[in-house]
A and B are shown apart, each in its own frame.
Chain A
Amino acid sequence: MGKTRVLVVDDSVFSQTAISGLLEESGFEVCSCAATGHDAVAKYRQLEPDIVTMDYTLPDIDGLTCSRQILTINPAAQIVILSAMKDQKLITKGRALGIRAFLQKPAKQEELVQTLQMISTKSNVTGELQAMYLRYFQQALTENLKNMAHIAAKTISERKEKQKFVAHGAAIMLGITGTYQGRIILDVAQDTLVNLVQAMLGTNNLSENDMLNSIAEFANIIAGYGVSEINNCYKDVELRLTPPSILLGEALSVINQRIKSCTVVVETNAGDIYLNIGFAGGQS
């Protein structure tokens, strides 16, 4: 099977060079670069690449107009917007056109490669999902810790798990259904739970039940943010969440033999927070 061929559309020579370098290092073939929208359309017609990475700001026409012209030539064209700007308006308009994914510059190599692998028909998506989607949940966690609890968070480690996730005291689990099956777990030790809820609600005079409901709602918000962002950014992906359940106990293991998962450990002054995301792969 040949390499996946990519056309890089960007008016900056620096970005063209950087993106091409990242892709070629990762086994893609960059068949050409285009600096204008019209050049991109001409090269798409001539070279028929598997995937196009598209900047939004181009000197002649914008990236969405250029994408529309390419999609007129080939309605099945695989286009990823890779732009300094990634706002809701752009995503909404782009999704309506048929853009496959939206990434923000500067894209990390891993993020870019995993996205292109996922939309490339030459790759197998199974097993790569959790790593790719993890960052959406990680970002939702960091932002909501800041907004809801005024807590700064720093990711201190990231690891792949096998079939088992070992929890630390209170683990809130939500199932993921839809295009892919999976689950998300937000896990904290008992004292971190108390600190977190206190930081969020400004009181330590709460029953255990109220504390658990508060942390479950926090996990629900993070999972909801992450899933919404993924659904927005990836065409043809529609994930849904099942309601949270809370697992309590020392050294609990959550086992799912079909799921490969990733855990990030986030350090905060309330204590460490463990965020575990796993997917079983393609839809059954």
Chain B
Amino acid sequence: MDVRLVNPFVDAIAGVMPQLGFQSVSRSKMTVQDQYVLSKGVVVIVGLTDDVKGNVVYNLSEESVKAIASVMMMGMPVTKIDNMVQSAISELANMITGNAAVHIEKAGFRVDISTPSLVVGPDAKVKICGTKFLVIELMVDDIPMELNIGIE
């Protein structure tokens, strides 16, 4: 996978998260995988097409989802993953991927993104087709967040 396509995601997270009320973003680990993304509880999938084709899978535990949604909703306590929380997390994936797409276009590649789909269910796993994928593990404030980026 072209490294020029990775930095846009890192830059997008660094740009988007503070706007949503998060104080710090730190990267803890980056690895390459070629099998499955094992769901930690909630995954959000956004597809990419045009010059850059692939899928981005956001993988979060239920606790992370609730903590992130709470910050996004101005600190409102979040105890369960309802429609509003699902909408917030989908929108987060949309914003990060959309911002990354803008950075990718600045690097000279055209890219279009699909609307995010959120997947829940026990023991869910996602196979990103046709490619190895990069796993970026992040801490946003104290909340763990994982991005899986598979670009053909």
Binding site for B on A (CB under 8 A): 163, 167, 173-178, 181-183, 212-213, 216, 240-259, 280
Among residues of B, the one whose C-beta sits closest to the C-beta of A253 is B120
A249-B47 contact given A183-B114, A243-B129, A259-B115, CB 8 Å threshold: no
Report the minimal beta-carbon distance from A183 to chain B, rounded to whole angstroms: 6
B46 within 8 A of A: yes
Q: Is B112's beta carbon under 8 Å from chain A?
A: yes
Contact B49 A255 (CB under 8 A): no
Q: Is B7 an interface residue (CB 8 A)?
A: no
A248 touches B125 (CB 8 A): yes
Most A Cβ at <10 Å: residue of B87, B114, B123: B114
A173 CA to B57 CA, complexed, in Å: 13
Known: A245-B55, A248-B36, A249-B122. A258 touches B115 (CB 8 A): yes
Subset of 27 A-B contacts with CB under 8 Å: A175-B47, A175-B115, A175-B117, A177-B113, A177-B114, A182-B114, A182-B115, A183-B114, A212-B127, A216-B129, A242-B47, A242-B48, A242-B49, A242-B55, A243-B47, A243-B152, A244-B129, A245-B129, A246-B126, A248-B127, A249-B39, A253-B120, A253-B121, A254-B117, A255-B90, A257-B86, A257-B87
Contacts of B130 in A (CB 8 A): 213, 216, 243
Q: A241 vs B114: C-alpha distance in the bound complex, in angstroms? A: 9
For B123, list chain A residues within 8 Å (CB).
249-250
Measured between beta carbons, the chain B residues less than 8 angstroms from A242 are 47-49, 53-55, 113-114
Docked complex: B103-121 residues within 8 A CB-CB of A: 112-121
Query: Is B96's CB within 8 Å of the partner chain A?
Result: no
With a cutoff of 8 Å between Cβ atoms, the chain B residues found around residue A183 in the complex are 47, 114-115, 117
Q: Most A CB atoms within 10 A — which of B39, B48, B119, B122?
A: B119
